Chains A and B, each alone.
Chain A
Amino acid sequence: MKKNVLEFLEETAVSYPDRCVYSDPERTYTFTEAVRTARAIGSRIGSLKASGRPVAVFMEKSASMAVAILGVLYGGCCYCPIDTSMPEQRIRTILSVLDPVAMVTEQDSRYLAEHFDLKCPVWDFDELSGMPEDTELLARIRNGLSEMDPLYILFTSGSTGVPKGVAGCHRMILNNLCWLEKEFPYEPEDVLGSQVPFHFVISLHDIFVPLRFGCSTFVIPQEYFSSPARLVNCLNSNRITSIFWVPSALTVVSRLNGFDTQLPAFLRYIFFIGEVMPVRYLNYWRRYLPDARYVNMYGSTETHVSMFFELCRDFADDERLPIGRACGNVKAVILDDGGRPVEPGEETEGELYIGGAALSLGYYKDPEKTKDRFICLKTASSEQERFYRTGDIASYDSDGNIVYHGRKDFQIKRMGYRIELGEIEAAAALIPEISECVCVYDEDRQMILMLYTAAEKIDSKTVSSGISTRIPRYMMPNRYIYLEQMPKNANGKADRRGLKELYARSGNRQT
């Protein structure tokens, strides 16, 4: 049994030394090159003697960034990708929680990194790549590691305004790779087309699958998604056989009639995860590519990929796809309002809990939040088993598959990003003129609406520029609506449902 994902890399590099593992339009790494570069990086990081601690990877998504991540793992540390396009204030907040032992940058991000006054070393990727390998040190580090050691820390939106860091371990990805081998095996000839940023948990698939199967990952530049013809051409010219995208990315192709001029010729696996896939847009793909295998995945940063549903029949445009059943060594349980487990065959809705080998370690440096979301349940096999309380409402369908119905809280998914509306509200609360602020999401139009009251009326530009220094671009509201008074519900809280209805009644126009 493997304890560290790098063991797969080393085995595969012996079998396929000259095959490509990662590429992008600028650069290609063979397995041999990736191992050599990552071991050089790992030797420098390992010299810090900081096993288990985080290293920030502050680079643009690229083949080199994937190799940098492997380097961090060789050094015995866990990686934390920091999105270089985030507002400086948010990066500072993340870095203050993370307290990294080192940061890996590249030429373009080095200058930005210098602003953060980090106490840890900041090393350039190219500089690290040329370091001598310390074989003895790397062996010593590896001997001291277990499958429960941290692999990543990924930051997601936090409802209080502070992003929360989820710490995942090697076991999560090791188990997932073993499960993939049984359900959706890859061949060395396969090429994965990577769409999601490396700070999304599903990027683990793109980064680590080649290590197990000897296939490769091509990093698709984000701008290709702005031109469907160019995107399809990229899929074909790189002979991409598998994609693991957010539904919004698949929808780009459907809504812009991306298959008008050319069809992807090699795709055989089409996985999607991260938000509800609108079936009518998926049916566009299925009409043009009927032989590919389509799989609706379910997971979260806290549980990686934990459930799946492979489409084995036609679905009508207005049907909802199930999230299916748990992946191997993963447990999915629905508890009703009274905490009683819902059994297959019952129609009762309840909250979904995920346990087993997909479970992460918890929230980094936040034992309170970890205790709140990672709880122990009594199961048939154990008196006390750890589960993640997802906040997702679910039920069983007549086939015994689990179906997702919505959230218990104010978390939304927009363009594949997980957003706590509370984080936007917390950013607005820091604008002195704003008295009260509530954000609601118009799902049909995929628009975030911010409704606010202020001591004196302030215009939307002032509000938007005030929050833009604290929240990333994908969280920015589409509409800013000034209200003289905030409608309240019976509990004296802002009436979110009422606000949504008020907005709908006003013809979706600014009030």
Chain B
Amino acid sequence: MDELLEILNDINPDADYETNEHLVDDEILTSFELVMLVTQIRDVLDVSIPSEAIIPENFNSVKAMMRLIGRLKEDE
């Protein structure tokens, strides 16, 4: 969780990651920042996110991202 927050704060330090549940829908994370996020998750957390899982619902909140990462780790 802390590592993910660190990645997110690097990409956009101005967002409220604790409470916001519409990060992608409200364009707090833009599509270009989503690319940075997905590649950082791969490089830092060693979790590859398949393209079909890159949809707003999986990145709208930190909780959703953690759920996705957990699911992908289980599948490995």
Contacts and interface: CB of A to CB of B under 8 A. Distances in A.
Nearest to B53: A229
Contacts of A234: none
Contacts of A113: none
B54 A248 contact: no
Contact of B50 (A222, A260, A477): A260
Contacts, number: 79
A476 interface: yes
Contact of A256 (B10, B13, B14, B35): B35
Nearest to A230: B55
A261 B36 CA distance: 21
B32 to A, nearest CB: 4
B74 to A, nearest CB: 20
A228 B14 contact: no
A479 B32 contact: no
A369 B13 CA distance: 35
A223 B31 contact: yes
A225 B31 contact: yes
Interface string B20-36: 00001101011110111
Contact of A447 (B10, B14, B35): B10
A446 interface: yes
Interface string A411-452: 000010000000000000000000000000000001100000
A258 B12 contact: no
A222 B25 CA distance: 11
Given A447-B10, A460-B13, A229 B31 contact: no
A222 B31 contact: yes
A85 B30 CA distance: 13
B: interface residue count bin: 20 to 34
Given A248-B32, A446-B36, A468 B54 contact: no
B13 A228 contact: no
Given A222-B31, A252-B35, A255-B35, A261 B11 contact: no
A2 to B, nearest CB: 37
B51 interface: yes
Interface string B45-75: 0000111101110010000000000000000
A226 interface: yes
B38 interface: yes
A255 B10 contact: no
A226 B56 CA distance: 7
B13 A229 contact: no
Contact of B13 (A227, A415, A479): A479
Interface in A451-466: 460-461, 464-465
A478 interface: yes
A461 B12 CA distance: 12
A257 interface: yes
A251 interface: yes
Contacts of B35: 251-252, 255-256
A478 B54 contact: no
A229 B36 contact: no
B53 to A, nearest CB: 9
Nearest to A447: B10
Contacts of B14: 461, 464-465, 468, 476
Nearest to B38: A256
A260 B56 contact: no
B31 A252 contact: yes
A495 to B, nearest CB: 24
Question: Which are the 4 A-B pairs with shortest beta-carbon distances?
Answer: A225-B31, A226-B31, A415-B32, A260-B51
8 contacts: A222-B31, A225-B32, A229-B51, A256-B35, A415-B32, A446-B36, A473-B30, A479-B10
Given A256-B35, A479-B10, 4 more contacts: A226-B34, A227-B54, A228-B54, A465-B14
Interface of A: 85, 222-223, 225-230, 248-249, 251-252, 255-261, 415, 446-447, 460-461, 464-465, 468, 473-474, 476-480
